[in-house]
Structure 1
Amino acid sequence: MILVFCIALGVVQWCYAEAACGVVSKKKWDGMKPLHVEYLPRPVDIVIIQHTATPGCSADNECEELIRNIQENHMEQQKFWDIGMSFVVGGNAKVYEGSGWLHVGAHTYGYNRRSIGISFLGNYNNDEPTPEQLEAVKNLIKCGVEQGHLSPDYHLLGHKQLISTESPGRKLYREIRTWPHFLEDASAIMNKS
């Protein structure tokens, strides 16, 4: 069960959801609080798998430093409210809280208000995801369904199916195409202009 604590600060409301599903909380990885939040309507029916195209990591301290650097880049250079991804998985097979289950992320332009973005630290054009990383993400998704954050009939997609990118990388994309709920033809859910 997720516990939610909210604090009203003038017109800004900040909520902290105690991480569930085995997720390393933002507080534990020493992340910054979001500048602003927009709540994600749940349950969400789209899960987007990505990679960061950064170096990978295998130790907790390396992974946490990479995530802090990504968050700083997103908030300082790109002017996002928070780290863009909903969750980030390291080479240490730990899942880290990004914008989380409750808040709209900034991971896939045009789809942020209707999806969860899960990003693997590393470049999966070059690297193979480990069985432990893959299992961690499968468990996160399963828990998301059990907790009511994800619809039981959610669609799983690779980032590149929705925008022009190489993400999640050839090797990770090849793997997720074998997962239940993978949506081969994304045209039914694509934003139409």
Structure 2
Amino acid sequence: MSIWALIYTRVQWGALFVAGFGDRSANYPLREVWTHHTVMTHLSPNATVAQEMAEMRRIERVGQDRFGRGISYNFVIFPSGRIYMGLGASRIGAHTGGRNSISLSVAFAGNYETNRPTTAALATYELLLRDFHKEGIVAAPRTNGGHRDAPGHSSNACAGRHLQAELPGVNTRASRPAVTTAAPAAPKPAASKPVAKPAAAPPGSYADRTGWPERPVVQRINDQLWEDNAYESTKFALVEALRRAGYGTDSVTAWGRLQQISRWLRGRHNLRGPETQVEIWKRFQTYLKSVNRYAGAIDGIPGPITVRGIFGWLNDIRSAYL
């Protein structure tokens, strides 16, 4: 199972603040991966998803108060073995001074100076390193060490002595072929108490301009997605889907939105190529075909067949954002 199938998204845990300081996916593969611990509440391996999501919001608040750009880390792993998207792989955080734009940060939630990491949490980290290497996000399936090992940070105690001691073993296991029994269970909806939805979208935002994902987008066969007469709720649903997945943009231009698609394709699906409009659309069509939502030619022209594929794909992924 891919690590992406296990990651709880920002919208699922209720992120409230902007995701970091900008995009750095053009720097893939990243050559550094630094391991941290949050030194905050150390939850039990039997903690509920709701408890972990509440802790994610507390971790985000600390980052916002300190640095003003939301949560500091790219990903956070809990003792249960569950993993949450902090900023996402492509976003620059505030975690390892002097290395933030060139490195990925993975934080273990809790205090690992006094607690030992669980087997489930370590297995999740190994899966992330292995899969991110396969996708070209990081250069090698290994962590460079704890925060204390980063240049200029030797006086730092992070990532805690117990977690620090496990990192050589993490690197050894991450370099081996995947072991299917080691991966934690995929995220599932809570069986009893539903997790509260994030706060309502600000007026005038992309989320405010579409009913997606609360209701499916409507298919209109002849609409062209980026032309002036495009079906607005679908256009903004696409922008909002990618923003919530961690690939946001402040641009409201067609080219800005296309660059947002390009970052997502590079960061999550390892589809690369020239940054021309036609080539970006070709890569998006290739992706839609891979999920059985496009049967047309890979021609880089966002015509009606491509748009219908986007409509279907957006509705397919609604559950990830509800």
TM-score when scaled to structure 2?
A: 0.48
* 1:68 maps to amino acid: R
Distance 2:42 2:83 in 1: 14
1:100 and 2:114 correspond: no
Tell me if the contact between 1:26 and 1:97 (Cα under 8 Å) persists in the aligned partners: yes
Tell me if the contact between 2:74 and 2:105 (Cα under 8 Å) persists in the aligned partners: yes
Q: Deviations over 1:78-98 (max 9, x none)?
A: 133121001000122111101
Tell me if the contact between 1:90 and 1:133 (Cα under 8 Å) persists in the aligned partners: yes
Tell me if the contact between 2:20 and 2:93 (Cα under 8 Å) persists in the aligned partners: no
Query: Using CA pairs below 8 Å that are at least 6 residues apart, which structure has the higher relative contact order?
Result: 1
1:73 and 2:56 correspond: no
Distance 1:111 1:50 in 2: 13
Q: Deviations over 1:85-117 (max 9, x none)?
A: 010001221111011111111111111011001
Give the aligned partner of residue 146 of structure 2: 158
SS of aligned partner of 2:133: helix
Distance 2:108 2:165 in 1: 14
1:179 and 2:167 correspond: no
Give the aligned partner of residue 280 of structure 2: none
Change (3 A) 1:130 1:153: closer
Change (3 A) 1:150 1:54: same
Distance 1:83 1:148 in 2: 24
**1:47 paired residue among 33, 42, 51:** 33
Change (3 A) 1:168 1:64: same
Q: CA deviation at 1:175?
A: 0.5
Higher helix share: 2
Bigger radius of gyration, 1 or 2? Answer: 2
Give the aligned partner of residue 185 of structure 1: none
Give the aligned partner of residue 301 of structure 2: none
Q: How many residues align?
A: 163
Change (3 A) 1:20 1:33: farther
1:63 and 2:58 correspond: no
Question: Unpaired segments of 5 or more residues in structure 1?
Answer: 1-18, 182-193
Q: CA deviation at 1:64?
A: 1.0
Distance 2:126 2:141 in 1: 15
Change (3 A) 1:35 1:171: closer
Distance 2:60 2:88 in 1: 13
Change (3 A) 1:158 1:35: closer
TM-score when scaled to structure 1?
A: 0.77
Give the aligned partner of residue 11 of structure 2: 27
Q: CA deviation at 1:145?
A: 0.9
The CA RMSD over aligned residues, in Å, is 2.0
Distance 2:149 2:142 in 1: 16
* 2:130 maps to amino acid: K
Question: Unpaired segments of 5 or more residues in structure 2?
Answer: 173-322
Give the aligned partner of residue 176 of structure 2: none
Q: CA deviation at 1:150?
A: 0.8
Q: Deviations over 1:43-95 (max 9, x none)?
A: 101110110111212321121111101112211x2133121001000122111
Distance 1:35 1:152 in 2: 25
Q: CA deviation at 1:21?
A: 5.1
Between the aligned residues of both structures, percent identity stands at 22
